[in-house]
Chains A and B, each alone.
Chain A
Amino acid sequence: MKRIEAVNDFVVKFANVNGSGSASANTLFAKAIMRMGVPVSPRNIFPSNIQGLPTWYEVRVSESGWLGRRGGADLMVAMNPQTWEKDVVEIEPGGYLFYDSTKPLPADKFRDDILVIGMPLTEICNATYSDPRQRQLFKNIIYVGALAALLDMDIAEVEKLVGEQYKGKEKLLEPNVKALHLGRDYALAHLPCPLGITVRRSDKVGDKIFIEGNNATALGAVYGGATVCAWYPITPSSSVAEAFARHCKKFRVDAASGKNNVAIVQTEDELASIGMVIGAAWNGSRAFTCTSGPGVSLMTEFIGLAYFAEIPAVIVNVQRAGPSTGMPTRTQQADILSCAYASHGDTKHVLLLPQDAKEAFEFTAASLDLADRLQTPVFVMTDLDIGMNERLCDPLEWDDSRTFDRGKVLTHDDLESGKRFGRYLDVDDDGITYRTYPGTHEKRGSFFTRGTSRDRYARYTEEGSAYVDNMQRLLRKFETAKQYVPEPVVLESPRPARHGVIYYGSTACAMDEALSELGAEGIAIDALRVRAFPFQDSVIDFVNAHEHVFVVEQNRDGQLRTLLLSEGALDPSRLSAVLHYDGTPITARFIRREIEERLSAFNVRPLRRTAAAGE
C-alpha cells in the first residue's frame, strides 16, 4: 500500500469528547504550525452540548494558503470511542490513524490501507499523574507532543506557545512542558517518526493574523463607535457580544473617571435587544445587536418599524443552519432572504456580506456609518464558519484620519439659524431626510416618531397619496444605498470566459481554491463576489455579460439567486444554483466537481438546442 506523502499539504482531524479539555491542546497544535510559517486553517465541528458529545477539530495545513475546508483526513487523531467507526472510515487511503492503544482493539476495528499508530496515552498518564483531572488534561498535551515528533514539527515553537499561554502562571507552565516532552520522547523512541506527512518551516504566513471572525466583528463595533450593545445569548453569535465587552474593558474605560464609554445590556430576549438598539439609535447613539437566524425572526416586527420610521440599527447575524432550531452549531448562509425582506409590508434592508474576519471588522465598522447615513437597519451577515473559527487573514487596518459619518442630523445651530425641518422631507432628492436628536432645541426640531403612516412633516395621516409618496421615497433611498455599500469584487479569467460564477461570504475561501483548480484545468470562468445588498448595477451587468452564471451558496433554496432574479429582473435559466447545505463548510472539491459536471453537460447539449428540442 502506498502511504500518503506530503509536506505542508495535508489534513489532520482530531476526534474528541466535548468538555475533555482538548480544544486548547488542538489550538496549540494548529498555532505551532502557523508559527512555523505554514498557513493553517482549523475548524471546530462541535455539537450543541457542553460535555460528553463528540466534537472534532479539523486542521488543514496548506503551503499554498488555501483556507477552505478540504474534506477527508490524512491523519486521524481518534480520541473518541463513540465515533471510532466513522472516524476510521473518513481517513484517506494511505493515510494515518493515531489512537490511544492502552486498551487493545480487535483487528477488525482497523483498516489495512492505512498506517495505524498506537500510543498508550492513558497508561502513560496513569503512570505519571495521580489526579484524575490532570490525567485527562495532560493526555491532550501528551498527544500534541507526540504529533510534533510524528510530523517533524519544531518543538521549540510549541514550547514557546505554551510559555505565552501560561505567562504569569509558572506553576502550570512546567507540568505542561513536561507533558509535551513526555509525548514527544515516547513518540521518538517507539513510533515511526517522521510520518510521510510532515511540516517544514516556511515563510507563507507573513504578517497575517490568526483570529475568530466574531472577535473581529466585535472590534469593528468598537472602532465604528458603537456605544450601546444589546444582545441575547444565541450560538453562534454570543462570542461577538462577549468579545465586545472584553474590548470595551480595554478601550472604552475613561482613564480619568474609570467610567465606561459604552453600555452593554444582556436582554431578556431578542425583541428587547432590537428595541434597545432602536431606542438608542433614535436618541443619537450608535447601537448594535448580534444574533442568529432565530433571533432575527423574533426581531422582525421591530425591523419593520426601524425601516418605516427610518431609525438606524445594526444587526450582526452570525448565521447557522435553520429552519427553527435547525443545527445550531453548524454553518449556513440561509438567512439572506429573511433578512433582505425582514418584516411585514414592503421592506428591503441593506445586507453586508463579509468573506472573512478582516471584512467582518471593516464591514461592522462601516455598518454603523451606513446605518446613520441611510437611517435604516443594516445587517452584517457572517456565519458560524467565519464567526467561530480562528482563521488566518490579513492584518486589520484603520486610518486615523477617518471620522464617523453621522449622516443627516440637524444641530441646535442649524435649527436656530432657521433651517427648514421636515423629518420626512426629501430636500436633497436622494431619499434621505434630515433628523434631529431628542433634546436638541427648545422650540424647533421636535417630531413624533411612529410606525404609522405620516406626511413629510411627521404628522399622522392615512392619506393614500402621502403613504405612496413616502414608500416611493424609501425606494429612492434604497437606490441611494448602492453608492455607499461595498462594491463587488470581480476576478476575471485570464482568457475570455462565457461562464461566470457568483458567490459571497464564507464561500470565498473554498471558491478561491476552486477557481485556481479550474483555471489549472484550462476552464475559463469569471467570478464575482457579491459584498452587499442592494446589488450595484455591476452585479447585474456581470450576469448579463455571461451566457451562464453559477450562483454558489450554502443554503437549500438558492437564496441569493432568488434575490438576484427578483431585484435584477433576470432570466432564471441563466443562473444555476450550486448549493451545499449539510451544515459543514463548503469545499473547493465540491464546487469544482459541480461546475465541471455542469459545464460538460452544457458542452454536450448547448442551451439553445435543448430549448428547441423541448418545443
Chain B
Amino acid sequence: MTYLAKPKLHHPDLPANALGFTRRDYEGTISTLCAGCGHDSISAAIIQACWELAIQPHRVAKLSGIGCSSKTPTYFLDKSHGFNSVHGRMPSVLTGANLANRDLIYLGVSGDGDSASIGVGQFAHVMRRGVNMTYIVENNGVYGLTKGQFSATADRGSKSKRGAVNTDEGIDLACLALQLGATYVARSFSGDKEQLVPLIKGALTHPGAAFIDVISPCVAFNNHDGSTRSYDYVRHHNEAVNRLDVITVHKEITTEYAPGEVQEVRQHDGSLLRLRKLAHDYDSSSRISAMSYVQSRYAHGEIVTGLLYVEPDATDLHESLGTTSVPLNQLGEKELCPGEAALARFNASLR
C-alpha cells in the first residue's frame, strides 16, 4: 500500500491500557496489502482487541500460512514472535507450538484458500483436537496473491471479476468448525469494527478452540457486482444475531439489561461474555441450533454474523492429553531423562 515508514514518535495523549501500553505498542510494520483491503481492518481490530485486553504483546505467538491474509501478522504485534509457515499447514504448526508452551496466547491467521482449499484437512483436525487458540480466517472468497482465482469458500453461482461463474459448492468454515467441535465460533465482517473487536477479545480469552470467520472483501479481485464477498453485498446481507461485550475479571459490571435481552457466559478465566441479543430467537449456547439457524438463513441469501456458539465449559488439547501445567519447553534433564539406574533395570528386563 505504501512504503513510507511509520513514525516512531507517539502522540503524548494516546490512551494507555492497564499495562501502560498505547495502541501503538501493539502495531507491526506498515502493511503492504492493497489500499482498502479488508485484511488491514482486521489487523487493526486485532491491535485494538489486544490493547483493550491489556495482553502482553510478547506473550502472543502469531502464526499463519501462505497468502495475503497470512502476510498480515507482520502488520501487528511486532513484539510477538511470528511464524509465516507453509500453505494450508498453519494449524499443525500452531498445535505443535501450543503443545510446547501452554502459557502463551496462540493467534492463527489464515485465509479462505489457506484454510478451506489446500488446508481444509488441517483446519478440520485442529478444531477436532480443541487446541486453545484464536483462529481467524480472513475470508474473501478469492486468491489474491495469484490474482483472482476462486477459493473453496466462494459461493456457488458467484461471479469472478472476469465473469466466470463458480460452479462448486462453497464451504462455510463456521459451520464446519461448529460440526467439528470448536468451542467458540463467530462470524464477522471486516467493515464492522464494533462487532469484530469484541469477538476477537472473546476468542482470545476463550480457553479452547475459538474460530472467527471474518468476511473481508478483496478490493482488487472480488469487490464487483455478482460477487457475494463484495463490500456492498456483505453490507446488504449481513444479519447480526447478537452484540458481544467482553468483561474481564478486573472490571466491575454496572450496566443493566431487561430480562431476555442478554445472555451471559462466564468463562474459566473469570471473564464474562455478555451477549446482547439482536435476533430474539437466536440461542448461542446450542451448537445444533446454531448450525440450523446459519444454514437456514444462508438458504435465504443472508450471512449470519455475531457469536454463533460458545461452550462455557470448554476444554483443550492439553486437558485431553493430561499434560503437566508446566510448559513442556521448560522441563529439563531432571524431569525428562530417567538416567543410568533406570536404564540398567531396562537392560535387565531384556535378558
Q: Which residues of A contact B (CB under 8 A)?
A: 205, 207-211, 219, 222-225, 227-228, 230, 251-252, 254, 257-265, 267-269, 271-285, 287, 301-302, 305, 395-400, 403-404, 436-443, 446-452, 460
Contacts and interface: CB of A to CB of B under 8 A. Distances in A.
Interface string B139-163: 0000000000000000000000000
A288 B166 CA distance: 42
B95 interface: yes
A476 B334 CA distance: 34
B324 A398 contact: no
B100 A279 contact: yes
Interface in B220-238: none
A282 B79 CA distance: 16
A399 B340 contact: yes
A261 B331 CA distance: 8
B100 A257 contact: no
A399 B94 CA distance: 35
A325 B73 CA distance: 40
A433 to B, nearest CB: 15
A356 to B, nearest CB: 13
What secondary structure prevails in chain B residues at the interface with A?
Answer: helix
Given A260-B322, A267-B125, A400-B339, A275 B56 contact: no
Interface of B: 56-59, 61, 63, 73-74, 78-86, 89, 91-101, 103-104, 121-122, 124-125, 129, 317-318, 321-325, 328-329, 331-333, 335-340, 342-344, 346-347, 350-351
A440 to B, nearest CB: 7
Nearest to B66: A451
B321 A263 contact: yes
Given A279-B95, A446-B79, A449-B84, A268 B338 contact: no
Contact of A275 (B82, B93, B335, B339): B93
Contact of B96 (A257, A260, A275, A442): A275
Tell me which of B100, B337, B340 has the highest count of chain A C-beta atoms within 10 A of its own C-beta. B100
A257 B324 contact: yes
Given A251-B338, A302-B89, A268 B125 contact: yes
A452 B96 CA distance: 21
B351 A207 contact: yes
Nearest to A258: B322
A279 B93 contact: yes
B95 A265 contact: yes
B337 A275 contact: no
B340 A398 contact: yes
- Give me the 6 closest cross-chain CB pairs, A-B, nearest first: A279-B96, A275-B92, A276-B96, A285-B100, A438-B81, A284-B329
Contacts of A400: 339-340
Given A262-B323, A262-B328, A439 B338 contact: no
A268 B328 CA distance: 23
Given A443-B79, A447-B81, A448-B84, A283 B329 contact: yes
A279 B84 CA distance: 11
Nearest to B332: A404
A516 B178 CA distance: 66
B29 to A, nearest CB: 9
A449 B83 contact: yes
Contacts of B101: 283-285, 437-439
Q: Mostly helix, strand, loop or mixed at chain A's interface? A: loop
B75 to A, nearest CB: 11
B89 A271 contact: yes
Given A260-B322, A268-B121, A438 B104 contact: yes
Contacts of B82: 446-450
A260 B321 contact: yes
B347 A285 contact: no
A396 B347 contact: yes
Contacts of A441: 58
Contacts of A397: 343
Contacts of B86: 275, 301-302, 305, 451
Given A265-B321, A400-B340, A280 B335 contact: no
Contact of A227 (B59, B129, B329): B329
Given A278-B96, A301-B86, A446-B80, A439 B122 contact: no
Contacts of B78: 446
16 contacts: A207-B347, A223-B338, A227-B328, A259-B325, A275-B85, A276-B92, A281-B100, A283-B97, A283-B100, A302-B86, A398-B337, A438-B58, A438-B97, A441-B58, A446-B79, A448-B84
Nearest to A437: B329
Contacts of A450: 82-84
Contacts of A449: 81-85
Nearest to B74: A448
A214 to B, nearest CB: 14
Nearest to B99: A263
A276 B99 contact: yes
A282 B322 contact: no
Given A263-B321, A305-B86, A209 B351 contact: yes
A517 B138 CA distance: 68
Contacts of B338: 222-223, 251
Given A278-B93, A398-B337, A439-B103, 18 more contacts: A225-B336, A227-B328, A227-B336, A228-B96, A258-B322, A259-B322, A271-B89, A272-B92, A272-B95, A275-B86, A275-B89, A275-B92, A279-B98, A282-B83, A282-B97, A283-B329, A284-B100, A446-B58
A396 B317 CA distance: 34
Contacts of A451: 84-86
B61 A439 contact: yes
A606 B106 CA distance: 68
A275 to B, nearest CB: 3
A512 B101 CA distance: 46
B331 A395 contact: no
Contacts of B328: 227-228, 261-263, 280, 285
Contacts of B83: 279, 282, 448-450
Contacts of B343: 223, 396-398
A342 B45 CA distance: 40
Nearest to B92: A275
Contacts of B73: 448
Contacts of A268: 121-122, 124-125
Contacts of A254: 324, 335
Contacts of B346: 219, 396
Contacts of A273: 92
A277 B321 CA distance: 16
Given A305-B85, A451-B85, A251 B342 contact: yes
